[in-house]
Amino acid sequence: VLPFPSQVVYNRVGKCGSRTVVLLLRILSEKHGFNLVTSDIHNKTRLTKNEQMELIKNISTAEQPYLFTRHVHFLNFSRFGGDQPVYINIIRDPVNRFLSNYFFRRFGDWRGEQNHMIRTPNMRQEERYLDINVCILENYPECSNPRLFYIIPYFCGQHPRCREPGEWALERAKLNVNENFLLVGILEELEDVLLLLERFLPHYFKDVLSIYKNPEHRKLGNLTVTVKKTVPSPEAIQILYQRMRYEYEFYYYVKEQFHLLKRKFGLKSHTRKPRPRPEFFIPSPLETEEPIDDEEEDDEKWLEDIYKR
């Protein structure tokens, strides 16, 4: 038994900075000698019971310490008799995530002018150049539920109800965040996410921030930025907000937990003022202004408990 978490799963949410993080993990795995287990399957997040069993078996038998990464909804290892790994993940503002995905599927990124053709070879030209406002305002399937209910299932899990926009999936996702995820970060505060990962999982993430800030690495990261993005009209954005109500409630819940965690470990938040939100949303999360100085013992115990898992 290794004296640190030897099984880590990053079930990365699409278009939430995961390609940047995977670039870092490839460097870190060579630097620190852990087993980075990746998957060539990018478009199958929902699995049958047999597929879950098979994937869990394959992951669990990987050489430890390992970090497994794939776009896949939360898997409950203990349900199939396996040891529950430490989970990590990153999410972002739901509308921004949706827009990034919408244009990435059509036009790709700076790594190659034609790489989007490989990802969506059967997309018709009229669909590829469909105006984002038309898609939203005229209620095309790609711009309406259940397609917009995207982030929550990554944390809710494989149960069929996890794919239905509603309170049940939302609450189950929150529960899993609390009970099974060591850290769920916010892409808008990626440097702080990396700092906390280095603190919590140094055997995997030591020096990650210095690598991320290296100019050569930043050049590589810039190549993964989606091209040809445009901003929808205010009316269209307001409709997206309404359709993504549960996604936003989850996002702000995670953001609040992340800020509380940052405060525990003395990190201040220097974030841009958030855009105004429709009044149906939950109250604004706690903003991190000053670090908490009187909980060091609890913090260390919390980390010790994680390392005992």
Q: Are strands 86-91 and 35-38 parallel, antiparallel or unpaired?
A: unpaired
Whole-angstrom Cα distance, residue 66 to residue 32? 11
Between 42 and 76, name the one with better pLDDT.
76
Q: Who's near 34: CB < 8 A, 6+ residues apart?
A: 28, 65, 66, 67, 203, 204
Domains of the chain: 7-266 (3.40.50.300)
Token pair 């278009």: residue: 15
- Per-residue pLDDT at 290: 35
- Per-residue pLDDT at 217: 75
Catalytic residue flag (residue 71): yes
pLDDT per residue as tens digits for the range 207-222: 999 999 998 877 666 5
Minimum mean pLDDT range among 213-217, 221-225, 285-289:
285-289
Is-cis flag, bond preceding 146, omega within 30?
yes
**Region 107-132 average pLDDT:** 72
Token pair 């115990």: residue: 301
Nearest Cα residue to 282 out of 157, 174, 178: 174
245-264 vs 234-243: helix crossing angle, rounded to 10: 80
Catalytic residue among 71, 159, 203, 217: 71
Q: Who's near 181: CB < 8 A, 6+ residues apart?
A: 87, 88, 89, 155
pLDDT per residue as tens digits for the range 177-194: 999 999 999 999 999 999
Is-cis flag, bond preceding 65, omega within 30?
yes
Residue 119 binned pLDDT confidence (cut-offs 50, 70, 90): low
Question: What are the tokens at 87?
Answer: 């989970």
Nearest Cα residue to 150 out of 46, 252, 63, 226: 46
Residue 282 binned pLDDT confidence (cut-offs 50, 70, 90): very low
- Residue 82 clears pLDDT 60, i.e. is over it: yes
Whole-angstrom Cα distance, residue 31 to residue 218? 18
Q: Backbone phi, then psi, for 227, in 5-degree steps?
A: -100, 165
What is the overall mean pLDDT for the chain? 85
167-180 vs 245-264: helix crossing angle, rounded to 10: 20
Whole-angstrom Cα distance, residue 270 to residue 289? 9
In contact, 299 and 275? CB cutoff 8 Å? no
- Per-residue pLDDT at 229: 81
- What is the value of pTM for the model shown? 0.85
